[in-house]
Amino acid sequence: MISIEQLCKVYQTKDRKIIGVDNVTMTVEKGEIFGIVGYSGAGKSTLLRCINILERPTSGKVTLDGIDLLSLSPKELRTARQSIGMIFQGFHLAISKTVLENVAFALKASKVARAERKRRALELLDLVGLSDKANQYPAQLSGGQKQRVSIARALANNPKMLLCDEATSALDPNTTQSILKLLKKINRELGLTIVLITHEMEVVKEICNRCAVMEEGRIVEEGKTYDMFAHPQNALTKRFIQTVLDFNLPKELLERSKGTIVHMKFTGEIAGESVVSDLLQNYDVRGNILHGKVDYIQNKALGTFVIELTGEDKEVQQAIESVNEKVEVEVLPHDRSIHHSAAGAE
């Protein structure tokens, strides 16, 4: 487990102070995948580098499994860092070394014997699916393969935690998915705690048990990933979630519609029930489906559904009230463009 308490990082320039991290307190539990999301300049990379003291915090406390990292001597800190692996957006591979040598290099720094270095490096390359690339050089690899080498290298010293600094930002969508699957495999098979920073909420949705949203050096919202998607509280969180769950209804469609347009949000087990079908059967209304989608976050369903209801006003109102007992309902006006998500309107 890693605990961060009232962490601040301030940079002093000639003219002014720049606050990189502003009084952050959070805990990452052992064995979880924790995402930190924010736009460029939010302070997430600085926070990540403060966790392993690559950046020394101006104030605050960083504790790894009960050890106060800021209280350690330089030698003790170097030893403690062996418990924290790190991968980067830019891979940081030595171009003059083979794939095998890149992975083994981390072990050489820990004074592991040559034969054991080779054995361990080959074992890790097999774990990340690159056994056949051991004698190739980074220039011969794709971006996804380079990141797999970086992951293998970060695992060389059997770390307790893996820090991922925009690890998928330089990769195409298909390669990103393969790297996320690999990280989930490592988390599951090795019990490794993973802290992942990103500006892509899709990455958080795919892999993270919990997440935090950062803005201007502060954490503005934190919680379980499903809860954040289902019930976001902060305006920035809502904007991030819209990048994943967004749907647009054309203004012309809304203006042409004669009935009542209803946006419904389904969470948890209710997403699998026949709510809309029951509504149309039990009330004297007609339904025109305008949008429907179900996403799965941490294996739990989160659905959004937009339907135009027509019929007598009393029947429509009763139908809406009956549905509102089971799901979150919003009646949408006809005179505006819609940019809603499953999170609802801001």
Structural domain boundaries in the chain:
2-243, 247-340
Compute the distance between CA of residue 161 and CA of residue 180 in angstroms, rounded to an integer. 16
Question: Residue 180's pLDDT is what?
Answer: 93
Instruction: Give the pLDDT confidence of 235-251 residue by residue, as tens digits.
Output: 999 999 888 876 677 77
SS3 173: helix
The answer, yes or no, to whether residue 1 has pLDDT greater than 90, is no
Inter-axis angle of helices 313-324 and 275-282, to 10 degrees?
A: 150
Question: Residue 272's pLDDT is what?
Answer: 60
Write down the CATH superfamily of domain 2-243.
P-loop containing nucleotide triphosphate hydrolases (3.40.50.300)
Instruction: Give the pLDDT confidence of 200-249 residue by residue, as tens digits.
Output: 999 999 999 999 999 999 999 999 999 999 889 999 999 998 888 766 77
Identical fold for domains 2-243 and 247-340, yes or no, is no
Its pTM stands at: 0.85
Q: How many CB atoms lie within 10 A of CB 71?
A: 11
% of the chain exceeding 70 in pLDDT: 95
Please give the CATH number for the structural domain made up of 247-340. 3.30.70.260
Query: What's the rounded mean pLDDT across residues 170-187?
Result: 91
Instruction: Give the pLDDT confidence of 301-315 residue by residue, as tens digits.
Output: 888 888 889 988 898
CA 119 from centre of chain: 33
The answer, yes or no, to whether residue 346 has pLDDT greater than 60, is no
Query: What's the rounded mean pLDDT across residues 119-136?
Result: 93
Alpha-carbon distance values, 61 to 27, 49, 55, 78, 126 (Å) = 12, 13, 13, 18, 37
Q: How many CB atoms lie within 10 A of CB 327?
A: 18
